[in-house]
Amino acid sequence: MKRGQKMRRELIAKIGILGLAVIFLLSMASYSTDQEVTTQGKPDKPVKPDNPKAEQITFQGDLEGDEAVFGCCPNAGPFPVYTMTLGFEFAGIEAGTPIDGWLFINYYGAGRDQKYKVQFWWNYDLDQGIEIIGGEIYHDRQAKVLTVTFTNDECVCIKSKIPIPQLVNFTLERYPIRNP
């Protein structure tokens, strides 16, 4: 074998070994990068825009009110400001007087016996507020309208749960406000 051919083969062998070493080092570098990503956990969820869900909430009957509210009513709040008119005297307030307070409405219980809870208060510490659990629930899922009809349901003081002597009758309607 000639000396030139031998040098060429040695050069090809050295380049091949060097190439394999580079491939090995690159694969190790990508492996360590993958490990770092997996040990950091899941990526953060994208931030939702600050656009709370707006709903129209309407009461008709012994409870009267009709307002647009935002972010109502997860179990832990927030509790939206709401103006309600009671069709009966309560806590020294005459029937028909509008009251500024806070509202909580949501499902109560589960299954066939599921009811609906309505709470409205203007001074919780002094037990000035009402709570009604009951109603017949109708949810039109296609139109996204919830209607709850309360017929002769018991109304209690919100904090002490002492019954108010009068049974209440009213209809609650709740639906999303669509952006124009």
What are the pLDDT digits (tens) for 67-121?
998 878 777 677 889 999 999 998 888 999 999 999 999 999 988 889 999 999 9
- The number of residues making up the chain comes to 180
| pLDDT for residue 70 | 85
Q: Give the global pTM.
A: 0.68
User: What does the pLDDT read at residue 40?
Assistant: 53
44-64 pLDDT tens trace? 555 554 556 788 999 999 999
CA torsion angle 116 118 124 128 (round to 10)? -130
Q: What is the pLDDT of residue 179?
A: 58
Q: Determine the Cα–Cα distance for residues 131 and 125; give it in Å rounded to an integer.
A: 15
The yes-or-no verdict on residue 157 having pLDDT over 60 is yes
15: confidence class by pLDDT, cuts 50, 70, 90:
confident
Non-local (6+) Cβ contacts of 145 within 8 A are 139, 173, 174, 175
**pLDDT tens-digit readout, 28-41:** 665 555 444 444 55
| pLDDT for 140 | 93
Model confidence band, residue 180 (pLDDT cutoffs 50, 70, 90): very low
